[in-house]
């Protein structure tokens, strides 16, 4: 099976140029001049750019156990529609949580045969499962997630400082990766409680200092153990100097942020609209702009969705109470247009955005076949119309709640190919392990 796609603009590892991408059996075999194509090649429209399929290393699928929140079929259909050809499933909110080798087997069995894009898995590091980490690593998880405060679900408890250091020391032995939800419980306990519909009160209940304190603990433990760690969903621009200093000292810590922190600002969140509730919270515009500047400077490595849906009932839209609502934002399908809309407005070129959303998350997750249009990589391709505006309408994920509803964005995903085949929502996806190509 061979597919050749050419475009006047193709985003390649070295930048953007006119090219033809030749593939065979789902793998890129050559990148040639635009005119060097066999009969039957697909030529993109003049307003389309060919980019690599994106890699989203932060998706909560929630199946099995909380499949009414989200499931493998609906989440991966949303991914395909959004130009994302690989997702990495988070270890919590499903039951069982992926904290044992047996639970990993359960997850893989449930996912098999129903995924529309490729799927890899994070394991979880929780109190008492140290002996499971190496077996899960050997079975192909891409790394381990931990929480430094209550996760919101009882089956995924947080690590205290001793537990964090023990997990990092264990992972250092096989160069495994620990990713952390970095907010500090003590700082949050000392802050005022969230109260009703007030977004300002919710924001005050989870102050930036909670992120800085937890990131400080993570950095110190990473430095002392020599392990690799990663900060998920950074919302706090004031934590950037701390991370920058640690990285320049050689501490092996990477960091991601998410589309909602780059798109929205606390000043604009309507009171009572709990579709915007996530933890850490969407902060003021000054934090958003600091995150954009850090991305542009290379101080934040990647942008991934943190797609974390639940049922409309649990979002408590009926009462609009930020204290009661589940925290998590659903928007997997609009990750690319949301980030691109913000980048475009700030004069950031598309290849840089693709770097944050394809190459960098593929590297984080250790998926060498993914993340770029290059010989030997999977033929995961997206036809993207970067200048076409649209309003966010019906999305493919299971529950329709999203703060992006009705929002005007720019950049439309017109076609997605997964390993050389049209990713049309049918179950073409594979389950991947770390290092698979
Ligand atoms: Zn998450």
Report yes or no: 331 and 392 within 8 Å, Cβ to Cβ.
no
User: What pLDDT was estimated at residue 400?
Assistant: 80
Q: How remote is the CA of residue 250 from the centroid of ligand 1, in Å? A: 26
In 10 A of CB 230, how many CB atoms?
Answer: 22
User: What pLDDT was estimated at residue 250?
Assistant: 98
Distances (CA, A) of 206 to 104, 235, 429: 32, 11, 38
Q: Answer yes or no: is 234 within a domain.
A: yes
Q: How remote is the CA of residue 72 from the centroid of ligand 1, in Å? A: 16
Q: How remote is the CA of residue 304 from the centroid of ligand 1, in Å? A: 10
Q: Answer yes or no: is 133 within a domain.
A: yes
Enumerate residues 6+ apart whose C-beta is below 8 A from 14.
none
User: CATH number for the domain including 187?
Assistant: 3.20.20.140
- Grade residue 311 by pLDDT with cuts at 50, 70 and 90: confident
Structural domain harbouring 346: 52-370+392-409
User: What pLDDT was estimated at residue 194?
Assistant: 92
Distance, CA of 13 to CA of 378 (rounded, Å): 14
Q: DSSP for 374-432, please give it.
A: -TTSB--EEEEEEEEEEE----SSSS---TTTT-EEEEEEEEEEETTEE--SSS---B-
pLDDT for residue 193 is more than 90: yes
Q: What is the pLDDT of residues 398-425, one digit of tens each?
A: 888 899 999 999 999 999 999 999 999 9
Q: Answer yes or no: is 233 within a domain.
A: yes
Q: How remote is the CA of residue 305 from the centroid of ligand 1, in Å? A: 8
Q: What is the pLDDT of residues 28-66, one digit of tens each?
A: 999 999 999 999 999 999 999 999 999 999 999 999 989
Q: Across residues 312-320, what is the average pLDDT?
A: 88
Q: How remote is the CA of residue 307 from the centroid of ligand 1, in Å? A: 7
Q: How remote is the CA of residue 181 from the centroid of ligand 1, in Å? A: 8
pLDDT for residue 119 is more than 80: yes
Distance, CA of 330 to CA of 279 (rounded, Å): 13
Q: How remote is the CA of residue 362 from the centroid of ligand 1, in Å? A: 17
Q: Answer yes or no: is 181 within a domain.
A: yes
Report yes or no: 326 and 277 within 8 Å, Cβ to Cβ.
yes
pLDDT for residue 1 is more than 80: no
Q: How remote is the CA of residue 261 from the centroid of ligand 1, in Å? A: 13
Distance, CA of 116 to CA of 424 (rounded, Å): 8
pLDDT for residue 315 is more than 90: no
Q: Answer yes or no: is 17 within a domain.
A: no
- Grade residue 205 by pLDDT with cuts at 50, 70 and 90: very high
Q: Which DSSP helix (H) or strand (E) runs through 337? A: helix 335-345
Counted domains in the chain: 1
Enumerate residues 6+ apart whose C-beta is below 8 A from 235.
211, 257, 258, 261, 280, 281, 282, 283, 287, 291
User: What pLDDT was estimated at residue 342?
Assistant: 98
Q: How remote is the CA of residue 59 from the centroid of ligand 1, in Å? A: 7
* Residues less than 5 Å from ion ligand 1, measured at CB: 306
Q: Answer yes or no: is 245 within a domain.
A: yes
Q: Answer yes or no: is 432 within a domain.
A: no
Q: Answer yes or no: is 79 within a domain.
A: yes
């Amino acid at each position: 099976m061979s597919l050749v796609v050419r475009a006047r603009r193709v985003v390649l590892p070295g930048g953007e140029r006119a090219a033809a991408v030749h593939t065979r059996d789902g793998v890129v075999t050559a990148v040639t001049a635009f005119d060097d194509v066999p009969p039957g090649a697909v030529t993109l429209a003049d307003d389309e750019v060919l980019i690599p399929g994106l890699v989203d290393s932060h998706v909560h699928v929630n199946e099995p156990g909380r499949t009414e929140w989200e499931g493998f079929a609906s989440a991966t259909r949303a991914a395909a529609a959004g130009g994302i050809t690989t997702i990495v499933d988070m270890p919590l909110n499903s039951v069982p949580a992926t904290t044992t080798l047996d639970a990993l087997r359960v997850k893989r069995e449930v996912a098999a045969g129903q995924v529309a894009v490729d799927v890899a898995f994070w394991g979880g590091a929780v109190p008492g499962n140290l002996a499971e980490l190496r077996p899960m690593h050997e079975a192909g998880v891409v790394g381990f997630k931990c929480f430094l405060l209550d996760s919101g679900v009882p089956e995924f408890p947080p690590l205290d400082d001793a537990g964090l250091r023990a997990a990092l020391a264990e992972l250092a032995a096989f160069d495994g990766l620990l990713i952390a939800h970095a907010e500090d419980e003590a700082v949050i306990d000392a802050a005022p409680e969230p109260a009703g519909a007030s977004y300002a009160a919710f924001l005050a209940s989870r102050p930036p200092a909670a992120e800085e304190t937890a990131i400080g603990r993570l950095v110190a433990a990473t430095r002392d153990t020599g392990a690799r760690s990663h900060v998920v969903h950074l919302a706090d621009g004031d934590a950037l100097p701390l991370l920058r200093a640690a990285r320049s000292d050689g501490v092996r810590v990477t960091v991601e942020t998410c589309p909602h922190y780059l798109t929205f600002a606390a000043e604009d969140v309507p009171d009572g609209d709990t579709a915007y509730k996530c933890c850490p919270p969407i902060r003021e515009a000054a934090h958003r702009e600091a995150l954009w500047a850090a991305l542009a400077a290379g101080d934040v490595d990647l942008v991934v969705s943190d797609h974390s849906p639940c049922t409309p009932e649990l979002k408590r839209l009926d009462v609009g109470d930020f204290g009661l609502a589940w925290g998590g934002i659903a928007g997997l399908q609009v990750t690319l247009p949301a980030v691109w809309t913000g980048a475009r407005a700030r004069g950031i070129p598309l290849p840089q955005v693709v770097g944050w959303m394809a190459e960098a998350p593929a590297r984080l997750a250790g998926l060498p076949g993914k993340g770029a249009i290059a010989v030997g990589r999977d033929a995961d391709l997206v036809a993207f119309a970067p200048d076409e505006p649209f309003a966010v309408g019906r999305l493919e994920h299971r529950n329709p709640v999203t703060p992006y509803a009705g929002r005007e964005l720019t950049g439309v995903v017109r076609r997605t190919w997964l390993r050389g085949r049209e990713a049309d929502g049918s179950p073409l996806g594979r389950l991947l392990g770390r290092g698979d190509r």
